Structure formats: C-alpha cells, structure tokens
C-alpha cells in the first residue's frame, strides 16, 4: 500500500534463511488473507510472462519511460528452499497448496512474525507481502543457480543479531537492519529501527512486509529513485557508458553508496559503489565497504518492470549474487514516511528493557 505513515515503527525485517523456521516445501512462507486477495487479483490480471517483444514508451528525449510508482511486494523467499534445487518456478499444484496452507496458518494467528519479548511483533493487518504480478518463482535468487548464497569469504563478518532484545555479545556497530545486538542504547538496535536505512529500500530493493514501493522520476541526465520506506531519494546521474562517469574518491563513503547510471538499450543500468562499512553487504552478512551493486531496470510491459540486481563483494562472498524481482506499476502516490517523528518503537524497546532489568534486580 502506498498510503502509509510511521504509525508503527518497531520495524520488522524478513528473517534470513538461517533464522527462518524449518518448513516443508509447501509451507515455507507467511501469506496473509490480504495477500491472498492480492494474489487472486494477480492471477486474474496476468498469469503469463510479459511479451519479450514489448517496446516501451519513450520520454520526450527518447529514453524508455520508467516513470511512476512501482510496487515490488513479494511472497517469494529471497533464498531458495533447497528441495527445489535449480528449479526457478513453482508448479500450479505447488502454488495452490502453499496458498491453502498459508490461509490455514493465517486463520490461527494474527501475528505478523513469531517474535516475543521487547521486539514482539504487531498484527498482520499491516502486511503487504504478496506480489501483484503473475510469475511464481521458487526464489528471487537466480545465481548461484541453486538459489543459495555462495560460500562466504574467509574475511566475511557475519553479524546476525536477533529479535527479542537479548544481548548477543556482538560489538557495535550494529549493521543489521532490524532486531538488534542488545538494548543498552539505540546504537544496539538495527538501522531501520533507528530510521537510518529502510529495511527494504536498500539498495538493492528487497521485498519485505510492507512499504514496498518506489517512485521513479526521469530527466535527460538524471534518474531519481524515491523509496517509500524512510523516503530516501537516490539521485542517479546518467552518462553514455559506465566508463564515462566521474566517480567519487574512495575515501568518500555513504550509507546508500554512490549511484551512477547509463542506458544499455532499453535497460537502465545503475552501478553503486562507495558504501560505508556500517551496513551489511547482503542478507545480513558481511559489510558493504567493498560491495559493487549493479541494478538493471527493464520495462517488459505497460505495467511491469523486471528489476535485476547483482552483488559483487569479494570481501563477503566467493562469488556474485544475482536476484530478480518483478515490479508492478500502481495507481497511487507516495506519502512521507515520517520515521523519526513516529518512532515510538525505539523508545518503547529501550524502556521495556530497563523495566525488565529493574524487575530482575528486585
């Protein structure tokens, strides 16, 4: 949904594969009844892949027109359950069974995530994690071909943190996006809980529980990617080729990196470097300091953009990571996500931890 303010800011980030409950091949995702409605509409709207010969409309200066509000919600896991091997798509029977099991689970619980303690999850009224498009992937990761993360580099830092407020014994900085490494102070909490980096806005864009929207603006020499989550705007200068760009000095490091773009035929290519070392590289692993992110935006239908991203980070992974997320155009507007102004979640998490300490001291 696009009309969303920071009514609830004890923010939730999708659990990594290492922290997800172990489920069967047809029982590995949380889809709310609201999500099922969206999925049903998607089935009626478009059940086939967009035509490969689609020619996108042009802007007045001749570039493919990507402007508008795009939704990247998804109920597909980022990392593929191992039982699917190298298979990219679910069968119709698997889709039907997953939806039936998810509906049964949803009827028995209103919790968005199974979290207890000071990070206890709110109800699933707020959740919008079903994709609007019709493609049903086994995972968003398409490389490595098994849909799993490649092996970690020897130098990789794998800070995971947790939900629930327990002290993990890990030292600051807390690079994870939600949850935390403790509750001594705000510095122990995830970056999205601190309203620094949105838990789905990246870069790259990662489908999550809600606020999965981005608005794209274009001029002849720039593209702006405005995410709904924490209303971050990436201003991307354009050049003829990647080599034609003047890049930042290596000592200049940013939370969301430095993005530069160019057109490869009808595909917008955005390359982002110069991340700082205060965020993770990908999926809560490593640091982003040496990460090079390549994003590709290709309009494949009037209402569809194929969003593909590649993470190259030799400090964290021994191979690249490639994922594809389908984005669907929506008739809506983005409203300010007033994160700091409404962030009572942070205050209450720390207040709850102090109250718990006081009870334990008595």
Q: For residue 118, give the DSSP letter.
A: G
Task: Please name the residue ranges forming H helices in the chain.
Answer: 33-45, 92-108, 344-361
Q: Find the mean pLDDT for residues 173-194.
A: 92
Q: What is the mean pLDDT of the chain?
A: 83
Q: Is 221 exposed, middle or buried (0-12, 13-18, 19+ CB in 10 A)?
A: exposed
Q: Are 295 and 269 in contact (CB under 8 A)?
A: yes
Q: Phi/psi zone of residue 348: left (φ > 0), alpha (ψ -120 to 50 degrees), beta?
A: alpha
Determine if the pTM surpasses 0.85. no
Q: Is residue 83's pLDDT more than 90? A: yes
Model pLDDT for residues 282-294, shown as the tens digit of each residue = 998 999 999 999 9
Dihedral through CA 193, CA 198, CA 202, CA 207, nearest 10?
100
SS3 94: helix
pLDDT at 49: 44
Model pLDDT for residues 14-62, shown as the tens digit of each residue = 333 333 333 333 333 333 333 333 333 333 333 334 446 899 999 999 9
Using CA atoms, how far residue 27 sits from 30, 31, 76, 98, 113, in Å, is 8, 10, 12, 6, 15
Dihedral pair phi/psi, residue 229, rounded to 5°: -70, 115
What size, in residues, is the chain?
Answer: 362
Q: Find the mean pLDDT for residues 266-286.
A: 95
Q: Are 335 and 4 in contact (CB under 8 A)?
A: yes
> Residue 234's closest CA among 253, 256, 263, 211?
256
pLDDT at 123: 72
């Amino acid at each position: 949904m696009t009309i969303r303010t920071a009514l609830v800011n004890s923010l939730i980030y999708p659990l990594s594969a290492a922290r997800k409950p172990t489920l069967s091949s047809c029982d590995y995702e949380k889809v709310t009844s609201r999500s099922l409605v969206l999925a049903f509409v998607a089935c009626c709207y478009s059940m086939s892949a967009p035509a490969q010969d689609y020619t996108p409309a042009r802007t007045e200066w001749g570039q493919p027109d990507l402007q508008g509000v795009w939704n990247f919600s998804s109920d597909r896991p980022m990392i593929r359950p191992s039982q699917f091997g190298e298979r990219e798509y679910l069968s119709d029977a698997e889709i039907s069974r997953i939806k039936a099991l998810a509906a049964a689970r949803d009827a028995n619980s209103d919790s968005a995530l199974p979290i207890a303690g000071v990070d206890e999850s709110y109800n699933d009224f707020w959740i919008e994690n079903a994709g609007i498009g019709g493609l049903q992937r086994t995972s968003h990761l398409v490389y490595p071909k098994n849909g799993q993360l490649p092996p970690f580099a020897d130098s990789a830092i794998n800070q995971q943190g947790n939900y629930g407020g327990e002290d993990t014994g890990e030292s600051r900085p807390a690079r994870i996006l939600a949850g935390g490494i403790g509750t001594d102070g705000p510095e122990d909490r995830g970056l999205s809980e601190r309203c620094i980096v949105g838990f789905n806005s990246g870069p790259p864009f990662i489908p999550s529980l809600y606020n999965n929207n981005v608005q794209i603006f274009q001029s002849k020499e720039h593209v702006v990617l405005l995410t709904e989550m924490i209303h971050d705007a990436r201003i991307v200068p354009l050049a003829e080729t990647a080599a034609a760009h003047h890049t930042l000095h290596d000592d200049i490091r940013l939370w969301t990196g430095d993005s530069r773009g160019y057109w490869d035929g009808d595909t917008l290519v955005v390359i982002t470097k110069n991340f700082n070392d205060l965020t993770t590289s990908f999926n809560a692993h490593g640091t982003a300091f040496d990460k090079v992110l390549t994003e590709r935006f290709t309009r494949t239908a009037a209402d569809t953009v194929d969003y593909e991203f590649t993470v190259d980070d030799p400090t964290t992974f021994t191979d690249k990571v490639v994922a594809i997320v389908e984005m669907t155009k929506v008739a809506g507007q983005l409203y300010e996500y007033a994160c700091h102004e409404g962030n009572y979640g942070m205050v209450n998490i720390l207040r709850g931890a102090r109250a718990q300490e006081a009870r334990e001291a008595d």
